[in-house]
Each structure stands twice: as structure tokens, then as C-alpha cells.
């Protein structure tokens, strides 16, 4: 009997490996609200700039761990990559060579932010299809989004516009 219980436990544990990972990622993701809030409220700009890459890579890891399915993490990624780029790469230097390098880095960050945001918005089938349609159809689709979608829409538009610029 003891042997059967061990076999059942192992089978359940091994079969639920993916869901256990997902549970761990989703649980850790809950703490990202506090991490993001602390980052955004940091009064020391140099400290925030130094802390940003670590926070962004942690967020990237959680997003990958969720197989790009956790909308809350994706919106946070969109928001933080966009904010970090504008805060620390745009107009970061008077030196032209450094400025070009920073603008290139900003572009990479804006593109990642845009892609994270589009993954969230693409959960709406009409939006996905509207991306390939004329502007008027696209505009109608945007009007169908609700209040809960505002943050994803705003930060995606911010990142996309900044990337184009």
C-alpha cells in the first residue's frame, strides 16, 4: 500500500510540473506590483537607473516563465521598459556619440515594450485582425475596448509611438 501511495504521489507531482511552475511564476508575479511601485516612487534617480536593469530582467524572466500568458506581467513589462527608456536614454547625454548609442538603446527598449503590450492586446481577436485592416476598421476596434484595457492600450501606444519616433 505504501508503495502505491508513493507511485501516485510521484505521478501527480511529475504530471503537474508545468502547473507547479506556472503557480510559482503567478505567485511571484503578485510581488511585482510592489517592486514596480517601489521603483516608480524611488526619489534617487541614479539609484533607480542602477536598479532598473535588474528589475527589468526579473520581469523578463517571469514573463518567459508564464509563456507570455500573464497579462499583468506583460503590461508591467510594457510600462517599465517604456518608462525606463524615456527616463534614462532619451536626452541622456550632450555627447553626440553617447547620445546616438542611448537613442539606439531606447529604441530597443521601446520595441520590447511595444511587443509586450501587443501580446496583451492581441488577446482580443478583433484587435489582432484589425492590425491588418484599414485605419477606420482599426479605430472601431479600439473603441470596443473597455476601462480595464486602458493601461495596456496607453502604454502600448506610448511605446509604439516612441519606437517610431
How many other CB atoms are there within 10 angstroms of residue 80's CB atom?
23
> Which pLDDT tens digits describe the chain residue by residue (165 residues)?
556 655 555 455 545 556 777 777 788 888 888 988 999 899 999 999 999 999 999 999 999 999 999 999 999 999 999 999 999 998 766 667 778 888 999 999 999 999 999 999 999 888 888 888 898 888 888 888 899 999 999 999 999 999 998
Distance of alpha carbon 56 from alpha carbon 62, whole angstroms? 10
The residue assigned the cell 537607473 is 49
Contacts of 154 (CB under 8 A, 6+ apart): none
How many other CB atoms are there within 10 angstroms of residue 57's CB atom?
10
Amino acid at each position: 500500500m505504501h508503495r502505491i501511495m508513493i507511485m501516485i504521489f510521484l505521478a501527480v507531482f511529475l504530471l503537474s510540473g508545468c502547473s507547479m511552475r506556472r503557480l510559482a511564476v503567478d505567485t511571484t508575479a503578485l510581488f511585482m506590483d510592489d517592486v514596480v511601485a517601489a521603483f516608480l516612487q524611488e526619489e534617487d534617480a541614479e539609484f533607480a537607473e542602477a536598479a532598473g536593469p535588474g528589475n527589468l530582467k526579473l520581469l523578463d524572466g517571469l514573463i518567459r516563465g508564464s509563456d507570455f500568458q500573464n497579462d499583468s506581467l506583460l503590461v508591467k513589462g510594457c510600462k517599465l521598459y517604456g518608462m525606463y527608456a524615456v527616463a534614462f536614454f532619451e536626452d541622456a547625454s550632450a555627447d553626440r556619440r553617447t547620445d546616438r548609442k542611448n537613442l539606439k538603446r531606447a529604441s530597443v527598449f521601446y520595441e520590447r515594450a511595444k511587443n509586450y503590450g501587443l501580446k496583451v492586446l492581441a488577446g482580443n481577436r478583433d484587435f489582432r485582425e484589425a492590425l491588418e485592416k484599414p485605419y477606420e476598421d482599426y479605430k472601431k476596434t479600439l473603441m470596443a475596448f473597455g476601462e480595464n484595457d486602458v493601461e495596456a492600450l496607453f502604454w502600448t501606444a506610448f511605446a509604439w509611438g516612441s519606437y517610431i519616433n
